[in-house]
């Protein structure tokens, strides 16, 4: 095996350092991509040996890229959110009739869980082992609550502040991954049936359009 001797070249130190940093980042990305792919293939969780083999690195190299397993999980979670960032958005947020907004909201949540269910499940498991992952879930829930307030602003504006907070929390819990997982696996509902149930429930808990129309000056 040929070993590169940095001291035997005329390459400036900062260039060498930048090259090493770039290789380290490429190695980290390869490992994180490998972990995500393995999770989606059903490995819950994948072993370090599986991750290293998929990424094309040694196990020793894996631990040179990351100081701890928590670091690996954190970087992988960040990459996961980057890869699937579009699924966390709601198309044309806040526009259209209540029925149209409910349909788009339910579709966005259901599509996210249908596409990323293995990772969603693993992240929930890891939340009990890692404070960083737990904090990340809290941030995601807070972001989704903001989406709910924006998307259903006309309906939330006609109730009290406490009532709006209650409705936001109810909608968040109703359309959470935990709800999706339980309805699909414990209650044996199909994805289509879960979507239908969520849409029906949202139409019932949100004030009707007639109420929001009366509240508009």
pLDDT tens digit sequence for 153-210: 999 999 999 999 999 999 999 999 999 999 999 999 999 999 999 999 999 999 986 5
Predicted local confidence at residue 196, as pLDDT: 98
Residues 104, 181, single domain; the answer is yes
108 and 59 within one domain:
no
Residues 190 and 156 in one domain: yes
Q: Confirm whether 1 is domain-assigned.
A: no
- Taking CB atoms within 8 Å and a gap of at least 24, the contacts of 55-60 are 55/27, 55/30, 55/31, 56/30, 57/27, 57/30, 57/31
Per-residue confidence (pLDDT) for residue 17, from 0 to 100: 62
Domain that holds residue 53: 6-68
Full-model pTM = 0.79
Q: Taking a C-beta distance cutoff of 8 angstroms, is the pair 75, 49 a contact?
A: no
- Domain identity same for 43 and 92: no
Q: Does residue 122 share a domain with residue 63?
A: no
- Which CATH number belongs to the domain containing residue 59 in this structure? 1.10.10
pLDDT at 213 over 60: no
Q: What is the number of structural domains in the chain?
A: 2
Kindly state whether residues 54 and 88 are assigned to the same domain.
Answer: no
Same domain, 107 and 193: yes
Tens digits of residue pLDDT in 30-49: 999 999 999 999 887 888 89
Same domain, 126 and 204: yes
């Amino acid at each position: 095996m040929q070993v590169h001797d940095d001291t035997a070249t005329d390459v400036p130190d900062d260039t060498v350092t930048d090259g090493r940093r770039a290789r380290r980042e490429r190695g980290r990305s390869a490992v994180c991509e490998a972990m995500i792919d393995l999770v989606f293939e059903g490995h819950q969780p994948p072993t370090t040996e599986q991750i290293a083999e998929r990424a094309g690195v040694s196990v020793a190299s894996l631990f040179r890229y990351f100081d701890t397993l928590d670091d690996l999980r954190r970087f992988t979670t960040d990459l996961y959110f980057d890869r699937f960032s579009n699924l966390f958005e709601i198309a044309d947020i806040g526009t259209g009739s209540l029925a149209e907004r409910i349909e788009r909201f339910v579709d966005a949540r259901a599509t996210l869980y249908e596409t990323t269910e293995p990772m969603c499940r693993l992240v929930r498991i890891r939340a009990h082992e890692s404070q960083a992952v737990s904090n990340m879930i809290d941030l995601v829930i807070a972001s989704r609550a903001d989406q709910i307030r924006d998307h259903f602003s006309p309906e939330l504006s006609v109730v009290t502040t406490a009532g709006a907070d209650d409705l936001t929390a109810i909608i968040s819990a109703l359309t959470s991954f935990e709800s999706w997982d339980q309805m699909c696996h414990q209650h044996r509902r199909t994805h289509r049936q879960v979507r239908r149930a969520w849409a029906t429930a949202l139409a019932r808990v949100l004030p009707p359009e007639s109420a929001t129309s009366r509240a508009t000056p």
